[in-house]
């Protein structure tokens, strides 16, 4: 059985969606049609008897709109302003998710995490137990960085890293990153028409990280391909397969789980020496560079 076929048998799936995938590009307002499709797909995955966790961005962007603030360029908005927007936006975003999940008779739970959730042994143990209990009860956890008290995700980039950390923490089988580009390319396809699509990555190399240096073309998100490759390192080292796929059509989720050749598949290679808390600390110390 090849790796794509094996995806059909995955039992615990983490799905991450970025800010730019949740909004209308013209206005910055939430795209309720896309949100509804996302929730419907996640509920259908749950109805198949699989565990599913959603890692969502968007709180800061939603807060900006609620407060009638314009999106600013990097460096033009203070950390306190971002955290204030997150405080307003997180509540509104979760309320929207709760209503949508309820329409499909699913219960959602909010989990907000910080760096200390992972690096502190007791916090990590408690978080693992909370996830395990929620999943055993059939609940769909909705996860975000606690931006009102933490600055880690705001600097590192768009929850890519967080979703991989969650996947490792809960012993997931598969991590799917939904983004505004349909996978890994040899160069930014928006700038270079000769960029080639990479269907599968069996080994993460320095050359790949050089390919991922270009940042996202979206003003809503903060993470580029490099943060997704960092996520791939965390996931694959923790024994989790990972797929980067485009969010233009949310239906890509069920096609991935049917074993279709969608997005870029990163093959898991569990590294018994991989230390998740130490890696997170390493990222935190190098957050300005964003290096793995």
| Residue 64 Cα to chain centre, angstroms | 21
Angle ∠(174,176,178) on CA atoms, nearest 5: 175
**pTM for this one?**
0.90
- At 283, the pLDDT band (50, 70, 90 cuts) reads confident
**pLDDT score for 222:** 38
- Is residue 51 within 8 Å of residue 11, measured between CB atoms? yes
Three-state secondary structure of the chain: CCHHHHHHHCCEEEEEECHHHCECCCCCCECHHHHHHHHHHHHHHHHCCCEEEEEECCHHHHHHHHCCCCCCCCCCCCHHHHHHHHHHHHHHHHHHHHHHHHHCCCCEEEEEECHHHHHCHHHHHHHHHHHHHHHHCCCEEEEEECCCCCCHHHHHCCCHHHHHHHHHHCCCCEEEEEECCCCEECCCCCCCCCCCEECEECCCCHHHHHHCCCCCCCCCCCCCHHHHHHHHHHHHHCCCEEEEEECCCCCHHHHHHCCCCCCEEECCCCCCCCCHHHHHHHHHHCCCCCCC
Q: What mean pLDDT is reported for the chain?
A: 86
Cβ neighbours, 10 Å, residue 259: 16
Is the model's pLDDT at 280 over the cut of 80? yes
- At 232, the pLDDT band (50, 70, 90 cuts) reads very high
Is the model's pLDDT at 287 over the cut of 70? no
* Residue bearing the bigger pLDDT, 214 or 129: 129
* Residue bearing the bigger pLDDT, 213 or 271: 271
* pLDDT above 90: percentage of residues in the chain: 55
The residue with tokens 């969608």 is 262
Per-residue pLDDT of 140-178, as tens digits, reads 999 998 866 665 554 444 589 999 999 999 999 999 999
- Is residue 94 within 8 Å of residue 143, measured between CB atoms? no
Is the model's pLDDT at 219 over the cut of 60? no
Q: What is the mean pLDDT of residues 107-117?
A: 91
Is the model's pLDDT at 192 over the cut of 90? no
Please give the Cα distance from 94 to 146 (Å, whole number).
13
Q: What is the mean pLDDT of residues 5-13?
A: 96
Is the model's pLDDT at 93 over the cut of 80? yes
Is the model's pLDDT at 72 over the cut of 70? no
- At 292, the pLDDT band (50, 70, 90 cuts) reads very low
Find, among 59, 57, 22, the residue nearest to 161 by Cα.
Answer: 57
Per-residue pLDDT of 118-127, as tens digits, reads 888 999 999 9
- At 73, the pLDDT band (50, 70, 90 cuts) reads low
**pLDDT score for 57:** 85
Q: Which domains does the chain have, with CATH numbers?
A: 3-285 (3.40.1160.10)
Is the model's pLDDT at 215 over the cut of 70? no
């Amino acid at each position: 059985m090849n790796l794509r076929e094996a995806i059909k048998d995955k039992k615990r799936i983490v799905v991450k969606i970025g800010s730019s995938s949740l909004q209308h590009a013209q206005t910055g307002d939430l795209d309720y049609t896309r949100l509804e499709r996302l929730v419907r797909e996640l509920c259908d995955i749950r109805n198949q008897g699989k565990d599913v966790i959603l890692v969502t961005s968007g709180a800061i962007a939603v807060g900006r709109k609620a407060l009638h603030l314009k999106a600013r360029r990097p460096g033009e908005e203070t950390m306190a302003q971002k955290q204030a927007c997150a405080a307003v936006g997180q509540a509104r975003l979760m309320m929207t998710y709760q209503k949508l999940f309820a329409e499909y008779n699913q219960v959602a739970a909010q989990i907000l995490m910080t760096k200390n959730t992972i690096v502190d042994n007791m916090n990590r143990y408690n978080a693992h137990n909370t996830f395990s209990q929620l999943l055993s009860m059939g609940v769909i956890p909705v996860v975000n960085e606690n931006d009102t008290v933490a600055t880690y995700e705001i600097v590192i980039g768009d929850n890519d890293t967080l979703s991989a950390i969650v996947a490792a923490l809960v012993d997931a089988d598969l991590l799917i990153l939904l983004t505004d580009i349909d996978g890994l390319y040899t160069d930014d396809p928006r700038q270079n028409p000769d960029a080639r699509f990479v269907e599968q990555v069996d080994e993460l190399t320095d050359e790949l990280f050089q390919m991922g240096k270009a940042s996202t073309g979206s003003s809503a998100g903060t993470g580029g391909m490099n943060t997704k490759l960092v996520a791939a390192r965390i996931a694959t080292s923790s024994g989790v397969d990972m797929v980067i796929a485009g969010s233009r059509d949310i239906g890509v989720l069920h096609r991935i789980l049917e074993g279709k050749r969608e997005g870029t598949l990163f093959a898991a290679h569990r590294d018994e020496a991989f230390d998740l808390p130490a890696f997170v600390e390493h990222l935190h110390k190098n957050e300005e560079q964003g290096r793995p």
